[in-house]
Structure 1
């Protein structure tokens, strides 16, 4: 049967390789039912063949992939892909889950992010050495293991990257989850998924569970009207973090950019809080210099120091996604072969300046 292709081959300009692909089995096109759902007995073999047959396809959330080799014409829907609209490659981690929210509960995920990719945040890196030693030799720590760590700071400062870099450096799997993914359709779904998440991490231990945007479920009650399902999720998470069920070799890292709005019951469970800060002038220069080297166009000699002085209050993600990318795209639109200092200045001017929070009463946004 010739199923319609929903992905282009690897010919599109500027796309990166998929780091993570989460699929949900949908069934055979003719029956539209799951009565013949194929059982994946060896996930390593499935992942190998899946990468081989879909290598070069652009993965978009909501699109379908059709099996051609293991279970011919069986359809899988893409629940999530990281980065968005990236290309499936030989290093892509592929997960099959029956959960609609795409929680990665059935395969281990290896990170390709390196510490060297993260510019600045030296204090945060230094504090992560303890977690690094724990993941390398969890048996040495016993009950003194660093099990619950909180990353906090402005959005775009590298919290997720550092968690992935830590997993890569210690060669352990990392299970990344956005807190919003834990909110199920029915009361009880989220709590069940929390426990399944930790069950899976324990099987892969040593392992990192990384919960991003923790404030989505853990806001102080004075900031939100707590729904019953969210309350159950929080209680399940507290149970796991308290170690009532022993999870040897599992380290939970959560991140938030609204630390002062977190529920005190949740915040008290973290043994260590690690702050991420906005880049200083020298770090901004390093971000500019390292990223323009990857531009597909030439870059004229730019005064990065002068630009850095105008970039006060911007995060690393702002600099890459809203300044450098905007400048590059402008040159491409105008069909020029060179990105100029003026392009970067214009991108900065459009973005404007952001002010840094001044005190603990301010929320990171």
Structure 2
């Protein structure tokens, strides 16, 4: 089935009785960074002609799931040769080239069949988040620059359970656009996920490079859902975020659900897990939350329907005085949430990337499929 044919029902979802949209797409465009002037046209055809034997030699690399870390490092070296050939061929990807990648991600995102709620969007967003959230400002390590989740043991960290699904889907895009780095591909996937599921514009720019297994980060750098306010601050302050940004980034839980075979937790946060809204915050305050009686890890469920869940790290947003102030503001104002999430998420996606690597001084706006079709 065509991805465009199911986009509308996916976005509509099943909204909670308390939720009423407070902002349309036009209402949050003003919070986005303006796109730069159009760059000279380019094409994948010109690239492939210049890559020659280097590209052919690297084909086996892109079968991601069947390779060892050593093979992936070898593949990175092959791509280094391909990059040299790319420069020799005078191929420089333009914004239009990255828009093609975005479009392909959007197509794959909506071609999920029976997976979860019919969309790969939430898991692609989680991949971008977890690939970037390993940054440590004190050591300058981690972040999205090297895409080190391709390697063990980082790929096996508990916080990354289930993300092999997203990485496998991104391999399909990588095979079609081998010139894009994994870091750029994964973060662009996060941008597409938010924007295509009715969320705000996310300013984004390319420039990340692929690293090696030696660059992988240690376990424990991503949030542990069973913990409280102190843990959350330790994790996010290490990345360089403040309390307001912590609460804004937590709004990513508007999308998707937890799985017992991955995190151990179970259920969606909202009634519309494929539509990006401020309903996550509204439900935190409007519903009565009780501890779920089950054999799994400690989590909350809504008393009324018992179909929604909140993690301990979610519920703390209503208990901590500083966090609560921002969470309540986002519950009351969807436009404010969109603006602040856009700014924080865009910065998250750039953690660990040296400024000099970016191809543009200002971030770009990628057009949604809907905008391009109209």
TM above 0.5, one fold? Answer: no
Higher RCO (CA-CA < 8 Å; seq separation 6+): 2
* Pairwise TM-score range, normalised by the shorter structure: under 0.3
Specify which structure has the higher proportion of helix: 2
TM-score, structure 1 normalization: 0.24
TM-score, structure 2 normalization: 0.23
Specify which structure has the higher proportion of strand: 1
